[in-house]
A = this chain, B = another copy of it.
Amino acid sequence: MAKNIAKNDSKLNDSKLNGSEQNANTQISNSVEDYLKAIWLTAQDGAASTNALAEQLNIAAPSVSAMLSKLQALEFVVYERYKGVSLTAIGKARALELLRRHRLIETFLFEHFEYSWDEVHEDAERLEHAVSPRFIERLAVFLDHPSHDPHGDPIPCPDGTLPDTPNMALAELKAGEHFVVARLLSQASDVLAYLEKLKIQPGTQLKVIDIEPLGGLVHVLIDELPQALSKELAMIVRGSIVLSA
């Protein structure tokens, strides 16, 4: 079926797409959902490359190619061979809806089922495809409509907007500044576990003692204790400057 689509594709092809109108509310497969989410996570509002998606999804690049043609036919993406792919309004809405499910589920597992920070992701990854709109609505009420998940990532609202999220990197601060951590830009469990050991989590307050000039090593004070973070690690710690100590 990917072949047929690809053949129609060969010259110019915005004409006569088959599944035209009904895709705003159509039931879509887990795979399609995953691709849409991956495109959003990879490119936000820009264009994602096939290889980047293949890596994000852990799927071989040719499989991604075939699926992109299918998503194009479904009008979830705009895709030009060899040029990358980006989400249409409908595709983006679907991606954000899935992201909302994912992050609400993570929040629930973390707050009520005593999951550790790095355990939530893989379970949420499967549950997000299985929950109904009713479940998500009730879950949001149960959690009292949180705006951010345990990693500090914003939870998309039902209307498709994203809550504001402090996004300054710890690595960009200057000596003497005070900082409150809002978000950790990583899903890697070893990274999260390391940061947890340093007591760096959403809500943590810290002070920058000094920044090493060459490698960008960041010296901070957390709970009166001095700690050091590499520039790379300090780049994924996001938050905002605070004025008073």
Count of interface residues, chain A, beta-carbon cutoff 8 Å: 19
A232 at the interface (CB under 8 A from B): no
What does DSSP make chain A's interface, helix, strand, loop or mixed?
Answer: helix
Contact A131–B135 (Cβ < 8 Å): no
8 Å CB contact of A127 from B112, B115, B119, B127 = B127
A83 at the interface (CB under 8 A from B): no
A82 at the interface (CB under 8 A from B): no
Decide: A130 near B132, CB < 8 A? Known: A138-B113, A142-B112: no
What is A's interface to B at a CB cutoff of 8 Å?
109, 112-115, 119, 122-123, 126-127, 129-132, 134-135, 138-139, 142
Tell me, in angstroms, the Cα distance from A183 to B69 when the chains sit together.
51
Contact B138–A132 (Cβ < 8 Å): no
The residues of B that contact A119 with a CB separation of less than 8 Å are 134
Task: Kindly report which residue of chain B lies nearest to residue A130, judged by CB atoms.
Answer: B130
Tell me, in angstroms, the Cα distance from A135 to B120 when the chains sit together.
10
Tell me, in angstroms, the Cα distance from A132 to B126 when the chains sit together.
9
Contact B127–A123 (Cβ < 8 Å): no
Chain B nearest Cβ from A85, distance in angstroms: 27
Tell me, in angstroms, the Cα distance from A119 to B109 when the chains sit together.
23
The residues of B that contact A135 with a CB separation of less than 8 Å are 109, 113, 123, 127
- Please list the 10 inter-chain residue pairs (A to B) with the smallest Cβ-Cβ separation, ordered nearest first: A130-B130, A113-B138, A126-B130, A127-B130, A123-B132, A123-B135, A114-B138, A113-B142, A129-B130, A123-B134
